[in-house]
Amino acid sequence: MSSPITSFTDEALIAFDTLADRASNLIQPTLRLGVTGLSRAGKTVFITALVHNLLHGGRLPMFEAAHSGRLARSFLEPQPDDAVPRFQYEDHAARMISDRIWPDSTRAISELRLVVEYESASGWNRFFSGGRLCLDIVDYPGEWLLDLPLLGQDFAAFSLNAASLARSPVRADLAAPWLEKAGTIDPHKPADEADARELARLFTNYLRACKQDERALSTLPPGRFLMPGDLDGSPALTFAPLPNLPDTPAPKGSLMAMMERRYESYKSVVVKPFFREHVARLDRQIVLIDAMQAMNAGHEAVIDLERALSDVLSCFRPGSGSLLTSLVSRRIDKVLIAATKADHLHHESHDRLEAIARRIVERASSHIGSSGADIEVLAMAAVRATREATVRQDGEELPVIVGTPLDGERISGELFDGKRKTAIFPGDLPKNPDAFFKAVDAASKPPLPDINIVRFRPPLIEETENGIKLSLPHIRLDRALDYLLGDRLA
Ligand SMILES: Nc1nc2c(ncn2[C@@H]2O[C@H](COP(=O)(O)OP(=O)(O)OP(=O)(O)O)[C@@H](O)[C@H]2O)c(=O)[nH]1
Ligand SMILES: [Mg+2]
């Protein structure tokens, strides 16, 4: 059932890239930081906030290099890879800070180089590194990482997996149109482009429905079906798993043979180059997860997030003896899993969110290797859109969060216009994360924590008397920076 995963050329190409990177690293210390997460997890907001805080001397008390005053200056420089789109920092920052609008969705890979000049903590290092680190930030969709397991599956295994997931109770109704159509087609019939296109279309619609549905299910591979980029309409994307595959091999010229070939092309034209050219060259990685949205959507969404995260983490901790080790990054030594949007909770719940995220990560990583990158977990808000307050109700002090709901946002029937502020009771997470996961595993499901997710506008940035805008407020972004960069600025 398995097919060769990497070839000598993959290995050689990676070795070549790594050597080239190393050589330039000697002249210019560089850290390639991958930023990923499923769509809408908060990648663009995170990178914009990170860069803005470093460019404008943000408040970063838990980022030692900044706190001790060793960061001299940060500035943007042209990125090293000319073929990768630039992360349009200026546009995103202007939208978020001046217009107070969240950035648009970004559906592909992009890169930005930030140079950080610092004073080394030790005289030795000062002498050698010159106190200058090039931080190359690479933003890419987490959906693309979910393709890694495909490299170890032939078309039959891929079809079997896809079909059994599609028939699971939580997805069956969304997958029905595709399953029905596929049920009427004999895989051994002569290949026909119209069939291939129709099946690909229905399968893509099903993947899209999983994502858009309020069940908030994480995406399934192939990752490019929802984010095709310039491959839209190419044969490498015009295939679908066949749910009722016969055991006999595909006859020449059959639909099954055509699908098989295209599936293999997808792996060699899309998946492998992505891992080879991008993932294998990263040094550090942050994975953003929207655990709050999943908890809000229900138990299935949480289990599904776990499944997706487990696939994502296996890209950084391939496990010993894994056939995939040569394509995944052996360079990545630290991975940070950050549960985002913590500003939707009162600070008392930040540690609880972190505890739940840690448990999700532990559960997800129980299936993957234990060697490889070090994994850390954090609850964070790259941009803090709310502030905290208390209200008195019936003689009791109650914690609330205050912010400006987005235009058109409704809270218990009341419509907001994007100008008016309001205070809400944020959700309450269980003190003990076990309580939550018992619920996930239980046959009869007790109610989920009652989280009140309101979409707020980005915060109003205050100005000092001299008209200088203060940097973007955040929650624990400084801890993330310290973990990801701290040792490289020592
Ligand atoms: N309050 C708050 N909302 C956030 C934060 N980060 C992201 N969001 C919300 O999440 C949405 C998605 O954030 P993005 O940064 O665009 O997410 P992305 O991962 O780049 O999404 P794609 O480009 O679609 O893959 C934003 O429009 C915000 O509504 C945060 O730190 N605080
Ligand atoms: Mg984005």
* DSSP code of residue 460: P
CB 257 within 8 A of CB 250: yes
Residues of the chain with pLDDT > 70, as a percent, come to 89
The per-residue pLDDT for 444 is 61
Give residue 383 CA to ligand 1 midpoint distance, Å: 9
Q: Confirm or reject: Cβ of 37 under 6 Å from ligand 1.
A: yes
Q: Confirm or reject: Cβ of 87 under 6 Å from ligand 1.
A: no
Q: In ligand 1, which atom is closest to the CA atom of 382?
A: 31
With bands split at pLDDT 50, 70 and 90, how would you rate the model's confidence at 5?
Answer: low
Give residue 382 CA to ligand 2 midpoint distance, Å: 13
Cβ neighbourhood burial of 4 (10 Å; 0-12, 13-18, 19+) = exposed
Out of 46-55, 219-228, 412-421, which region has the weakest mean confidence (pLDDT)? 219-228
Q: If we measure between CA atoms, which residue out of 336, 363, 365 comes closest to residue 484?
A: 336
CB 287 within 8 A of CB 336: yes
Among 35, 92, 102, which is best to mutate for testing ligand 1, by the most ligand atoms less than 8 A from CB?
Answer: 102
Give 190's strand partners: 254
Q: Confirm or reject: Cβ of 43 under 6 Å from ligand 1.
A: yes
Q: If we measure between CA atoms, which residue out of 469, 468, 471 comes closest to residue 481?
A: 471
Query: Going by CA atoms, what residue is nearest to atom 28 of ligand 1?
Result: 102
142-163 confidence digits (pLDDT tens):
989 889 889 889 999 999 999 9
Q: If we measure between CA atoms, which residue out of 382, 402, 378 comes closest to residue 390?
A: 402
* DSSP code of residue 447: P
Out of 17-21, 149-153, 465-469, which region has the weakest mean confidence (pLDDT)? 465-469
Q: Which ligand is nearest to the CA of 142?
A: 1
From first CA to last CA, the distance across the chain in angstroms is 48
DSSP, residue by residue, 310-367: HHHHHTT---TT-TTTTTS-SS--EEEEEE--GGGS-GGGHHHHHHHHHHHHHHHHTT
Contacts of 80 (CB under 8 A, 6+ apart): 24, 30, 113, 136
Give residue 34 CA to ligand 2 midpoint distance, Å: 13
Q: If we measure between CA atoms, which residue out of 217, 200, 313 comes closest to residue 266?
A: 200
195-208 confidence digits (pLDDT tens):
999 999 999 999 99
The per-residue pLDDT for 329 is 57
Q: If we measure between CA atoms, which residue out of 484, 487, 489 comes closest to residue 34?
A: 484
CB 379 within 8 A of CB 429: no
84-129 confidence digits (pLDDT tens):
999 999 999 999 999 999 999 988 899 999 999 998 877 666 566 5
Rounded to an integer, what distance in angstroms lies between the CA atom of residue 16 and that of residue 263?
Answer: 28
CB 339 within 8 A of CB 291: yes
Q: Which ligand is nearest to the CA of 104?
A: 1
Secondary structure of 84-135 in HEC code, one letter for each residue: CCECCHHHHHHHHHHHCCCCCCCCCCEEEEEEEEECCCCHHHHHHHCCEEEE
Q: In ligand 1, which atom is closest to the CA atom of 474?
A: 31
DSSP SS3 for 167: coil
CB 293 within 8 A of CB 216: yes
Instruction: Classify strands 284-289 and 334-339 as parallel, antiparallel or unpaired.
Output: parallel
On the question of pLDDT at 290 being above 80, the answer is yes
Regarding predicted confidence, which is higher, 463 or 391? 391
Q: Which ligand is nearest to the CA of 88?
A: 2
361 token code pair: 């990560």
With bands split at pLDDT 50, 70 and 90, how would you rate the model's confidence at 457?
Answer: very high
On the question of pLDDT at 136 being above 80, the answer is yes
Residue with structure tokens 């032939």? 154
Rounded to an integer, what distance in angstroms lies between the CA atom of residue 80 and that of residue 17?
Answer: 13
Region 8-140+278-384+478-489: CATH code: 3.40.50.300
In whole numbers, what is the pLDDT of the chain averaged over residues?
87
DSSP SS3 for 458: coil
Out of 59-68, 130-139, 330-339, 444-453, which region has the weakest mean confidence (pLDDT)? 444-453
| Average pLDDT of the segment spanning 241-256 | 92
Residue ranges, comma separated, of all CATH 3.40.50.300 domains in the chain are 8-140+278-384+478-489
Phi, psi of 34 (to 5 degrees): -85, 135
With bands split at pLDDT 50, 70 and 90, how would you rate the model's confidence at 184?
Answer: very high
Q: Confirm or reject: Cβ of 381 under 6 Å from ligand 1.
A: yes
340 token code pair: 């985002």
Query: Going by CA atoms, what residue is nearest to atom 8 of ligand 1?
Result: 42
On the question of pLDDT at 289 being above 60, the answer is yes
With bands split at pLDDT 50, 70 and 90, how would you rate the model's confidence at 280?
Answer: confident
Q: How many residues does the chain have?
A: 490
Give residue 294 CA to ligand 1 midpoint distance, Å: 14
The per-residue pLDDT for 2 is 44
Among 38, 43, 44, 45, which is best to mutate for testing ligand 1, by the most ligand atoms less than 8 A from CB?
Answer: 45
Rounded to an integer, what distance in angstroms lies between the CA atom of residue 298 and that of residue 225?
Answer: 25
The per-residue pLDDT for 323 is 53
Rounded to an integer, what distance in angstroms lies between the CA atom of residue 102 and that of residue 420?
Answer: 17
